[in-house]
Structure 1
């Protein structure tokens, strides 16, 4: 059954949900009672009530969470395996940490983009003022000059967000125009590929740690890769393992960011019987690298946007009507 997108939680709320379930599970509180003391955003309360009803009727947490829309497909897969192996508290905690980290990154980027956004909004109101004061614009023209850029920017944001969500939910192995375009971006392209690889190994490690068999976990881990060409390459790993190869051997022929480090850790994990921990360690190392890059981008991109907006405002004020000397119309 497809997960209803309207009921899905944001990253911070998901972190809160799994942290609460982890604490209650460790305390020995049944999940049905644990849900009664959980506070979620208003838009998710109906879904939470549905989850509680299904649990009370005898459904398991993974299936009920998926049907209610509170869990993603990956959440449900990992929790099903955790239920079978009896390590729900550990997996709850892992998911809480994962979503907490993602929510913190998203909040950092948003907070640092706030100042450029405010400056841009002020600029849209200030930039046409010289023409209004100089009689070049009517009130209606001024309002249109302010609202038109806002409508364009809002439309661009909506289209971009829709394309991003569509790409993230894509299951096709064929590369789209968006995939090709993003891959060519100088900094973002490699970073997006590295993030996709990190998500694959992180998800695979979580599912294996929860007790899911390798051949069952691999296609689910591949599904979280948002980059279609990478998803196609990693889909071959399952066939190689079915033919008797180890995970390290199956990955040795693939080209992906962090290839050398991943193979070293996976070989060590397979030899010592700690493969899930090795996969999660690799994902942790990649997360630290991505966090460092995100921190740098979150620092410099708002500064560059701020400078661009200020230059645009200065240009408009210096060249717009009402500022600077002007010849009379009969002498112009």
Structure 2
């Protein structure tokens, strides 16, 4: 059965899905029965029905979720490892916590951007009004002057969101072209690099915690990396470990941000037999750094937007030209 297109579930819906599956798994409810009580948005109902049919026909949860489009490739890889070791509930919980955390972050950024966005819309509506009332601007010209900046901003937002979703849904093992494009953007690029590293160590720790052997977990964790140069640097790790080197010894020769802290935690974990916990601890540290960056972004983006709106309004008052280029003569 071919894989269905990925369903655009938001983080909150994914968190709710995995939280429900975790509760049902802990209660001992069969997965086919647990799926009957799952509540998802309307656009995901067809994918949910496909998942129910596949599970009822005997397909395992990891592959059925991927084929239905409800699970991302990373979700499927982690669940596949959990199925092999019999700890599905723990991975469901991890995934629920991860998506709930990302949902809170996204909600915080959106809430802080609502007010400056409203100010921008009001400014677009108000600034051309004197020209409209005075007869220097027709109604069509007024509407065009208000709508075209909003259309441009909407297209840019849709493009960025589309690139992000394409990167998220590309198969494990494939380097996404959109990921490479996003990695070249200032500020966003280094953030995505650190996120790739966090996902590598987090995935490796989760799979080892789920009972997957190191040599089997390493290529799956490496496949999570979508940044081509970084992935190339980590591609030799599996071969070196296979030759008998420890993970810390191998990573000592791989240059990446946060290497010193990672090596210290991994050496401690290997010496004490708690490597999965050490990898997850390091991933947690990187998550905190990324959270801090998102918090700064959520703080400064509204301020920058406020500043841009104020500068544009001041420019319009001083020059009388309004926002952007002059309107066509037939609309004026």
The TM-score, its normalising length taken from structure 2, stands at 0.88
Of 75-84 and 238-247, deviating more is 238-247
CA distance in 2, matches of 1:69, 1:262: 34
The residue that corresponds to 1:191 in the other structure is 191
The gaps in structure 2 that reach 5 residues or longer are 323-332
Equivalent residue number for residue 144 of structure 1: 144
Distance verdict in 2 for CA 1:2–1:131, change over 3 Å = farther
Structure 1 equivalent of residue 326 of structure 2: none
Give the length in aligned residue pairs: 319
Distance in 2 of aligned mates of 1:309 and 1:173: 35
Q: What is the aligned partner in structure 1 of residue 12 from structure 2?
A: 12
Aligned-pair distance for 1:177? Answer: 6.8
Aligned counterparts, 1:153-164, within 5 A: 153-164=153-164
C-alpha contact 1:24 1:34 (8 A) present in aligned 2: yes
Which residue in 2 is equivalent to 1:216?
A: 216
CA distance in 2, matches of 1:177, 1:90: 33
Q: Give the equivalent residue in structure 1 for 2:184.
A: 181
Inter-CA distance 172–48: structure 2 relative to 1 (3 Å threshold): closer
Q: Separation in 2 of the partners of 1:196 and 1:97?
A: 18
Q: 1:155 Cα deviation (Å)?
A: 2.0
Q: 1:70 to 1:127 in 2, by over 3 A?
A: same
The residue matched to 1:7 in structure 2 has which SS? coil
Other-structure match for 1:108: 108
1:93-129 deviations in Å (ceiling 9; x for gaps): 1111111111111111111111111111122212222
Cα pair 2:62 2:80 within 8 Å, conserved: yes
Give runs of aligned pairs for residues 260-271 of structure 1, distance below 5 A. Answer: 260-271=260-271
Contact 1:130 1:320 in 2 (8 A): no
Measure the CA separation in 2 of the matches of 1:296 and 1:107: 15
User: Deviation of residue 176 (structure 1)?
Assistant: 8.2
Q: Judge which range, 57-66 or 129-138, deviates more.
A: 129-138
1:160-309 → structure 2 map (5 Å cutoff): 160-168=160-168, 169=170, 171-172=174-175, 178=181, 181-182=184-185, 185=186, 187-309=187-309
- The TM-score, its normalising length taken from structure 1, stands at 0.88
Change (3 A) 1:230 1:296: same
Which residue pairs with 2:325 in the alignment? none
280-289 vs 164-173, which moves further: 164-173
Find the counterpart in structure 2 of residue 90 from structure 1. 90
Unaligned runs of 5+ in 1: 323-332
Is the alpha carbon distance of 1:52 and 1:175 closer, same or farther for their aligned partners in structure 2, counting shifts above 3 Å? closer
Task: Tell me what 2:28 maps to.
Answer: 28
Deviations 1:137-171 (A, max 9, x none): 11111111112212222222223333334455383
Q: Say if 1:120 and 1:226 are closer, same or farther in 2 by CA, change over 3 A.
A: farther
The offset of 1:200, in angstroms, is 0.9
Would the aligned equivalents of 1:198 and 1:286 in 2 still touch at CA under 8 Å? yes
The equivalent residue for 1:325 is none
User: CA distance change for structure 1 residues 16 and 238 in 2, over 3 Å: closer, same or farther?
Assistant: same
Note the 1:112-123 alignment, pairs <5 A.
112-123=112-123
Are the equivalent residues in 2 in contact too, given 1:126–1:313 (CA < 8 A)? no
- 1:198/1:287 contact within 8 Å kept: yes
Separation in structure 1 between the aligned mates of residue 288 and residue 42 of structure 2, nearest angstrom: 33
Q: Which moved more, 1:125-134 or 1:13-22?
A: 125-134
Deviation at residue 262 of structure 1 after TM alignment: 0.5
Distance 1:216 1:152 in 2: 46
Superposed CA deviations along residues 266-307 of structure 1, whole A, max 9, x for unmatched, are 111111111111111111111112112211221121122112
Cα 1:128–1:296 shift into 2, 3 Å = same
Structure 1 CA distance for aligned equivalents of residues 136 and 62 of structure 2: 63
